Chain A
Amino acid sequence: MTGLKKRLIIRTEMNGTSEVTNYYSELYEANIKKITDDSSSYINSFRSSAFEEFRMLGVPTRKNEAYKYTNLDLFFKHDYKTYFIPEKTDFEKAEDFRCDVTNLDAHGIVLMNGFYPTINGKLRELPGGITIGSLNEASRKFSGIVEKHYSKYAKSKTDGLVHLNTAMASDGVFVHVPRGARLSKPVQVVNLVDSDEDTFNQHRNLIVVENNAELTIIICDHTLSPRKFLTNAVTEIHVGENARFNIIRVQNEHNNACKITHTFIHQERNSYASSANITLHGGLVRNSTYHYLGGEGAETNSFGLFLADKWQHIDNFVNIDHAFPKCTSNQLFKGVLDEMATGAFNGRIYVAPGAQGTQAYQKNNNILLTDDAKMDTKPQLEIFADDVKCSHGATVGQLDDNALFYLQSRGIDKRQARLMLMFAFAHEVIQNVNVEALRERMDGLVMQRLKGELSRCASCMVKCG
């Protein structure tokens, strides 16, 4: 009897399934019926194979090259009381929430723990035939569009969490911009996380920008209550021929929250896309951004900025896939790390055989404000074409003493001079935000954060201290 038990344990270890992976597998088993009942058959059709993939790959550990610098155990080895599936009352708070970015004129959507929080009118039509609303609802009402794009781009051979999301997510944001359409203002999605219990959330977004169309979307992440939260979100984006798309993610969560995002941007020929991940606050943040340049002449930009202190850990992972010739990509990621904060940047550029005329640039600069702060940065270039312009550069250092002295020598005190330099450092990323009101707000929040004032929005109830 004991012998048999022992063999069983050995077998599970050989399969790579760990205790933590088993925990999420049980969570799947316990909730899958309710999840399936609530979703369309098309979305359900991916669940069991995705779950198998997750079982095989597991929750990523530091043995996984892409997670080498990030230990997920702190948030994944935890018993979440709830796998969130909403009740009517959960939606009231969402309807009361008001974003405090003044002058930001946007089409707003609020998600509560990843769900579209209204019972009626789950899809809205905007000028130009543009649709925004609940993915769950869209998978029934716009099944043609959803079936063409859902789960077509979110693929990973190494990251089990992408598959865990496909297996279990049941709602999120759906945006469809028809051929040639554009909005005069951006769409803003506010992701609220709120619960009286420690909660694990997963949501799934699908954004389809058809040929010659244009969209800017802002995603703001907030936590409203001081419980332990884990969010694992997947966003799939299709950018059609000659289309233009910008996604700006603003992360402002408390120190006891973990946010994991996987964003897949799939671009057609001559399209333009940009992604900006701005992390102002958060206990553990991991943003994986995958850019697929799937046609000649496409251009893509990946920006990131994070400000971290205390024990926060911020990890940005970028994968740029130059699958076709004459495409351009540009990565700019910056971090400011204070106290014991740690960070990681992993930027991969892949240039496929035959992708001639590729231009790919990458820059990662980090400032460590203390001896205890730590940053790992790893460029990864895999180039299989010969007519290629690539560059990459990474720095981890302190503020420039010469610049500091120059400012002081004009009468500016050291503290103020340091602030000016740090702000300038961060602003190089912020200036790429193409929504003016948001850019100004980001500048303001970054300045507050650098001054040591908490940069939370006025409506945030959580005191991170």
Chain B
Amino acid sequence: MLYIKDLWASINGKTILKGISLDVKPGEVHAIMGPNGSGKSTLAAVLAGREFVKVDEGHVTYLGKNLLDMSPEERSREGIFLGFQYPIEIPGVSMVNFMKTAVNEHRKHKGLDQLSASDFLKLMREKKELVEIDSKLANRSVNEGFSGGEKKKNEIFQMAMLEPKLAILDETDSGLDIDALRIVANGVNKLKRPDNSTIVITHYQRLLDYIVPDVVHVLYDGRIVKTSGKELALELEEKGYDWIKKEVDNQD
């Protein structure tokens, strides 16, 4: 599905990612954990195609294609979804118009006809129920005046609408109370299919109580310093990140 080989990336001349390699197979859930400033969000930004991150070395293959050659919109249409850590408010653009445009762009890419207005609204209704999002939110401008929890639910709602093959959830749990966390996690689990993959980027273990990973990676100082099964997350929760930092620093 996604194959990252020795990826180096920088922002404004400062190297953030220092040789990351990762192999995500269809159906797998990977968790990427790590302390603040380790490069987690930068990795998400590279995968989504943000221009401010410069890839200095390495390559990324997605479904056999060179991901780094693709524009952000092409990546989306090819099935990559980024759940934003800080979803953007866009006053004046309605959720309905936003999603209708996005869904139809995806359909066009697949060679399908545009959805009729009634089919589209039916789809919206189904997905809204699936992710337990308040109906009223869908009638408002994109994220405008949404609470932190509503914004994150809205990310999962968009994910439900676009049915990605690879979802990258960047700190989706940050700022959520336990109920919102449960709803978000449930949404992700309901959308899980045997052939699609998920990368969960998180600082804390608690989201992983709900979304159970197959593999856990620890990112520190721009490198993946540890890869293990889901029990690693529990160990991190108990002991914090310091022991890993020490291990790495000692090696250096």
Residue among A409, A412, A416 with the highest chain B CB neighbour number at 10 A: A409
A42 CB–B CB distance under 8 Å = no
Is A142's beta carbon under 8 Å from chain B? Answer: no
Contact of B101 among A403, A416, A425 (CB under 8 A): A416
Task: Verify if A384 is at the interface (C-beta below 8 Å from B).
Answer: no
Q: Are B90 and A410 in contact (CB under 8 A)?
A: no
Interchain nearest-CB distance for A405 vs B (Å): 6
Contact B48 A409 (CB under 8 A): yes
B158 smallest CB distance to A (angstroms):
6
Within 8 A of B (CB), among A373-410: 400, 402-403, 405-410
Q: In terms of DSSP, what is the predominant structure of the interface of chain A?
A: helix
Whether B77 and A403, one on each chain, are in contact in the complex, defined by CB atoms closer than 8 angstroms, is no
* Cα–Cα distance between A290 and B90 once the two chains are bound (Å): 33
Report yes or no: B73 in contact with A408, Cβ–Cβ below 8 A.
Answer: yes
Does B120 lie at the interface of the complex (its beta carbon under 8 Å from any beta carbon of A)?
no
Whether B98 contacts A410 by the Cβ 8 Å rule is yes
B101 proximity list for chain A (CB < 8 A): 412, 416, 420
Q: Tell me how far the C-beta of A433 lies from the nearest C-beta in chain B, rounded to whole angstroms.
A: 15
Q: With a 10 A CB-CB cut-off, give which of A410, A416, A423, A427 has the most chain B CB atoms.
A: A410
**CB-contact partner of A409 in B76, B91, B92, B93, under 8 A:** B76
**Closest-CB distance, B116 to chain A (whole angstroms):** 19
By a CB distance below 8 angstroms, the chain A residues around B49 are: 408-409
Q: Is the CB–CB distance between B105 and A411 below 8 Å? A: yes
Q: B167: CB under 8 A from chain A?
A: no
Q: Specify which chain A residues have a CB less than 8 angstroms from the CB of B142 in the assembled complex.
A: 406
Contact status B48-A414, CB under 8 Å: no
Contact B76 A411 (CB under 8 A): yes
| A403 to B93 alpha-carbon distance, docked (Å) | 10
| Additional pairs, 10, CB under 8 Å, beyond known A408-B73, A413-B105, A428-B91 | A407-B98, A408-B76, A409-B48, A409-B49, A409-B84, A411-B76, A411-B105, A412-B105, A420-B101, A425-B92
Q: Which residues of A come within 8 Å of B, CB atoms?
A: 400, 402-403, 405-414, 416-417, 420-421, 423-425, 427-428
A-B complex: 3 closest residue pairs judged by Cβ atoms: A424-B92, A411-B76, A410-B102
**B interface residue numbers (CB < 8 A to A):** 48-50, 71-73, 75-77, 82, 84, 87-88, 90-93, 97-98, 101-102, 105-106, 109, 141-142, 158, 162
Can you list 26 A-B pairs, Cβ within 8 angstroms, ordered by A? A400-B88, A402-B88, A403-B88, A405-B50, A405-B72, A405-B88, A406-B90, A407-B102, A408-B73, A409-B72, A409-B76, A409-B82, A410-B162, A411-B109, A412-B105, A414-B71, A414-B73, A416-B105, A420-B101, A421-B90, A424-B90, A424-B91, A424-B141, A425-B92, A427-B92, A428-B92
